[in-house]
Amino acid sequence: MNNRMNKGLGIGLATVLLTGALAGCGSDSGSKESGASGSGAPAKEIKLKFSIWGNDTHKAMYETMIENYRKDHPNVSVEIMTIPSADYQQKLSVLMASKTAPDIVWLMERSIPQFLGAGQLADISGIKDDPNYKFEDLIPSTLELLTKDGKTYGIPFSTPPNMIYYNKTLFAEKGLKTPTELYEEGNWTYDEMAKAAAALTDKSKGVYGVNLIRPNGWTTSWTESLQTLVWAFGADYFSADGKQFALNTPAGIDALQFYSDAMFKSEIHPKPGDQTTFETGKIAMQQDLFSYMGKAKAIADFEWDIAPMPSGAGGQGTTLGYAGYAVTKDSEHVAEATDFVKYLTSPENMAVTSQFFVPSRKSVLESQDFLNQGPSPESVKTAVLDQMAGARVRPAFQNFQQIDEKMKIGFDSIYTKSKPIEDIVKDLEKEVSPLLK
């Protein structure tokens, strides 16, 4: 599909969803005047804080949703707090400890065990009691991370498999088969990706064939960007029970060597810290999530498409991203914050957020509107819907921050080429293993 046309369709769809669906669903999300007394007196002013790690486009979407929420809840204001994703868990940990955390928070899968285990999330199980909310429409498996002892502590809003965004124009110029064509033939592998990337790389123009690191994700590369590569090579960071370090194997070494060689040997991949983005036209293939779609739709200089991740000896290894809304236990306005979460995750509003996030509601996920969010319905079906059943959620630990610190030090050695890969994984095993006991 021509991306100029796609851009117009994406903007038009978002406008229809925001002005139509949002306006009609505010009264279904809860009481019309949170905190109002039955005496007719003005409702108490409630100020909520809502933390996200999203970009300006996501923030603008939420600001519109907040405006619509206030039409039925004029006494409730919601302030959005944006925290960079790389700093999010650490910053939120400090705020939780000082009891100054936002009322509503985005949580990624790696942070949920920490905050849930520490008893810092509010029980919002009462959200199930409203038949208009249609709790049964939420895909049960997506609720597992935010469920404890039968109680619900949050609602997932984004469950995306990672995928490859690729520059169709560059592929056409080189006369190469696209990732989609190779996937349909059953030949979309990391070896084929490397071959295509070598043909597409043009040092004189600053063009790289592939980038496996999500934008601004160098410091979180080991968990957010490279888990798929490790799984696809038939390796893993940790054992299935999370009690042993598992990367020090031939398959694990091969996965990290592939990554290192792409940066420093064949130079088909940006080097550490390089912030070249897909939308500049200088990255032929970029690994990312569905949430990048908003930026991709603004591209007007070249045609692009999406495809599943390539496969290796261990299969595709596709990861399933995860993000949910939760209410903090120490909030002074748990009821109002819960009502706002209920509003954000209603069927109508999850249809709105589905322009960026793969929804956890079955009715929205399987809708034609969702399929139309991407470059084509066929591409979304192939790269998103068809991959979800086989994708896996990345591992998480209550002491994730300690593990993360050690893993980052190890990956710094890859980036500085200070040690052979074999020595790096040995050192990681020595440093990380005690934290898994």
pLDDT by residue (tens digit) across 90-107?
A: 999 999 999 999 999 999
Buried residues in 369-385 as b, exposed as e (16+ CB within 10 A)? ebbebbbeeebbebbbb
- Residue-level pLDDT at 40: 60
* 290 Cβ contact partners less than 8 Å away, ≥ 6 residues apart: 158, 160, 163, 356, 357, 358, 384
Residue 240 has phi, psi (to 5 degrees) of -60, -35
Q: Which CATH number describes the domain made up of 3-36+44-160+321-380?
A: 3.40.190.10
Question: Of 207, 226, 178, whose CA–CA distance to 237 is shortest?
Answer: 226
Buried residues in 258-282 as b, exposed as e (16+ CB within 10 A)? bbbebbeeebbbbebeeebbbbebb
Task: Report the CATH fold assignment for 163-317+399-436.
Answer: D-Maltodextrin-Binding Protein; domain 2 (3.40.190)
Dist CA 345 CA 143 (whole Å): 13
DSSP for 18-35, please give it.
Answer: IIIIHHHHGGGSS-SSTT
pLDDT by residue (tens digit) across 161-179?
A: 999 999 999 999 999 999 9
- Strands (E) across 1-119 are located at 46-52, 76-82, 104-108
- Residue-level pLDDT at 31: 41
CB 269, CB 263: distance < 8 Å: yes
- How far is residue 365 from each of residues 59, 349, 356, measured CA to CA in Å? 22, 13, 12
Dist CA 155 CA 324 (whole Å): 5
- DSSP lists the bridge partners of residue 78 as 48
Neighbours of 75 (CB within 10 A): 16
Spell out, as residue ranges, where the chain has pLDDT lower than 50. 1-39
- Residue-level pLDDT at 216: 77
> What is the DSSP secondary structure assignment for residue 224, as one 8-state letter?
I
Domain map of the chain by residue range? Answer: 3-36+44-160+321-380, 163-317+399-436
- Residue-level pLDDT at 41: 64
Q: 3-36+44-160+321-380 and 163-317+399-436 share one CATH topology?
A: yes
CB 365, CB 159: distance < 8 Å: no
- How far is residue 320 from each of residues 4, 16, 57, 142, 316, measured CA to CA in Å? 30, 29, 22, 10, 12
- The one-letter code for the residue type at 222 is W
What's this model's pTM, rounded to 2 decimal places? Answer: 0.81
